[in-house]
């Protein structure tokens, strides 16, 4: 049997409950007053016989108020038809519904005039009857309903205008951020790409003319690293230029395959540099067709290991990669440094900031903080299927120019 979604029982609007209670109250009160014959001007003496027909008319007219909000014209029509034989207690409530909920049509004014006539009954000239007061019993609720409807419409128009202004402001902010991203991408492409390209060409020339094997090997490694930096830079520039595309150009670059996050080369390089590293992989990567998420996860590991090399020599590092439903989880935790750094590389601090921006650009989160034992933990969760968001209300957006610095 298919799972049929049913709305909860508590989803009944309060307005409908109020209408039901009002209709029941008016019907009960009108029936009681008609049973006491209060509309004939004879006081509260109980008549010799119970006027069942009059009681039924009053009760049905009161129950018709159930439709006063959803079908005000139909409700008023029923009340008017029942009031042709005499005034009914539901008439003022029906007149209010005509003013508050009925559309502005000639039939609304016709029903209001009919209710006023049946309430006043000018054809029954009785001594001491006050037609003006009886007319106010219909006119006052009608005008009150029209005022509240006009006020409600004004508030609705002001709310819609405020929401429209807010949406326009969000769109302007989004366009300004996109323009700033394009400007930053252009500057990065014009300056950094040119410099790195020159470095790669010079390294290639050095490899060609060098006589010693170790020099040629170092030049080749420098050239390969420069080529990889150019590839990652092109991906970052493409992401900045088109933040709504979660799969920028270069998806087939290193670390961006469809078989999961591959960091074995980073682990091997760190171990060759003397760092003790333990790698743990949980979950099954499957067909992870999210190159941007894979590349970002690899960048998290790379930045965390770089910080270990710089600030925690001799520390033990644990790298954990988790394939979860929400995305790819990456945790790099290192113990306290066993000795002071060999070389003072400065405070830095922009690497983690830019990395946080990159993770949050994909809708993920990143936490980087020291632990209780004196070590440091970098933990990130990069969504696989969450597209890039440019929502102004996102709590983690920062100025990209500051992040790129």
Nearest CA-CA partner of 355 in 284, 290, 305: 305
The beta-strand segments (E) located in 184-293 are 276-282
Note the pLDDT of residue 222.
85
DSSP state of 333: E
Question: What is the biggest distance separating any 2 CA atoms in the chain, rounded to whole angstroms?
Answer: 130
| Prediction pTM value | 0.43
Total residues found in the chain within this entry: 405
Note the pLDDT of residue 330.
93
Other CB atoms within 10 A of residue 238 CB:
17
Note the pLDDT of residue 386.
44
- Cα–Cα distance for residue pair 193/230, rounded to 1 Å: 7
- Cα–Cα distance for residue pair 320/334, rounded to 1 Å: 11
Tokens representing 2 are: 């298919």
Per-residue pLDDT of the chain (405 residues; tens, 9 = 90+): 344 444 444 456 887 888 788 888 887 887 777 777 644 444 444 455 657 777 788 888 888 888 888 888 888 888 888 888 777 888 888 888 888 888 878 888 888 888 887 777 666 655 545 666 677 778 888 888 888 988 988 999 999 999 999 999 989 988 888 788 778 777 777 777 777 777 888 888 888 888 888 888 888 888 888 887 777 777 777 777 665 554 444 444 444 444 578 888 888 888 887 889 999 998 887 656 677 788 888 889 988 888 888 888 888 999 999 988 888 999 999 998 888 776 555 555 567 887 888 888 888 899 999 988 889 999 999 988 544 443 434 433 334 333 333
Note the pLDDT of residue 163.
92
Helix (H) or strand (E) holding 379: strand 376-382
Non-local (6+) Cβ contacts of 44 within 8 A are 36, 38
Nearest CA-CA partner of 294 in 198, 359, 214: 359
User: Which CA distances in Å does 364 have to 57, 230, 360, 389?
Assistant: 66, 25, 5, 10
Helix (H, G, I), strand (E, B) or coil at 207: helix
Instruction: Tell me how many degrees the CA angle 27-32-38 measures, rounded to the nearest 5.
Output: 115
Please say whether the beta carbons of 114 and 81 come within 8 A: no
Scored b (16 or more CB within 10 A) or e, 128-148 reads: eeeeeebebbbbebbeebbee
Tokens representing 14 are: 């309060």
Tokens representing 4 are: 């049929």
Instruction: Tell me how many degrees the CA angle 144-145-149 measures, rounded to the nearest 5.
Output: 120
Non-local (6+) Cβ contacts of 59 within 8 A are 27, 28, 30, 31
- Cα–Cα distance for residue pair 257/294, rounded to 1 Å: 8
């Amino acid at each position: 049997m298919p799972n049929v979604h049913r709305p909860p029982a508590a989803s009944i609007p309060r307005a409908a409950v109020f209408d039901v209670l009002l209709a029941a109250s008016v019907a009960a009160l009108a029936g009681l007053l008609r049973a006491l014959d209060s509309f004939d001007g004879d006081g509260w003496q109980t008549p010799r016989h119970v006027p069942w027909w009059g009681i039924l008319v009053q009760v049905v007219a009161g129950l018709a108020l159930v439709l006063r909000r959803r079908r005000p014209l139909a409700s008023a029509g029923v009340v008017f038809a029942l009031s042709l034989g005499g005034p009914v207690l539901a008439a003022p409530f029906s007149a209010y519904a005509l003013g508050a909920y009925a559309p502005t049509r000639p039939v609304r004014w016709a029903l209001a005039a009919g209710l006023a006539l049946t309430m006043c009954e000018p054809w029954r000239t009785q001594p001491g009857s006050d037609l003006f007061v009886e007319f106010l019993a219909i006119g006052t609720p009608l005008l009150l309903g029209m005022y509240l409807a006009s006020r409600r419409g004004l508030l609705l128009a002001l709310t819609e205008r405020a929401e429209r202004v807010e949406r326009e402001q969000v769109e302007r902010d989004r366009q300004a951020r996109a323009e700033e991203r394009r400007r930053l991408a252009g500057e990065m492409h014009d300056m950094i790409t040119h410099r790195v390209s020159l470095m790669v060409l010079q390294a290639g020339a050095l490899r060609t003319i060098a006589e010693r094997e170790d020099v040629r090997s170092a030049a080749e490694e420098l050239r390969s690293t420069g080529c990889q930096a150019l590839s990652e830079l092109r991906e970052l520039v493409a992401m900045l230029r088109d933040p709504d595309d979660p799969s920028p150009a270069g998806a087939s670059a290193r670390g961006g395959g469809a078989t999961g996050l591959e960091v074995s080369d980073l682990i091997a390089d760190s171990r060759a540099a003397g760092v003790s590293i333990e790698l743990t992989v949980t979950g099954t990567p499957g067909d992870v067709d999210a190159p941007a998420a894979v590349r970002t996860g690899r960048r998290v590991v790379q930045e965390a290991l770089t910080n270990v090399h710089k600030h925690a020599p001799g520390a033990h590092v644990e790298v954990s990669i988790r394939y979860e439903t929400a995305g790819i989880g990456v945790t790099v935790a290192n113990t306290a440094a066993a000795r002071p750094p060999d070389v003072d590389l400065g405070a830095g601090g922009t690497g983690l900031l830019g990395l946080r921006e990159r993770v949050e650009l994909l809708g993920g989160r990143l936490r980087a903080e020291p632990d209780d034992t004196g070590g440091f933990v970098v933990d990130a969760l990069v969504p696989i299927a969450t597209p890039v968001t440019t929502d102004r209300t996102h709590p983690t957006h920062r100025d990209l120019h500051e992040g790129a610095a």
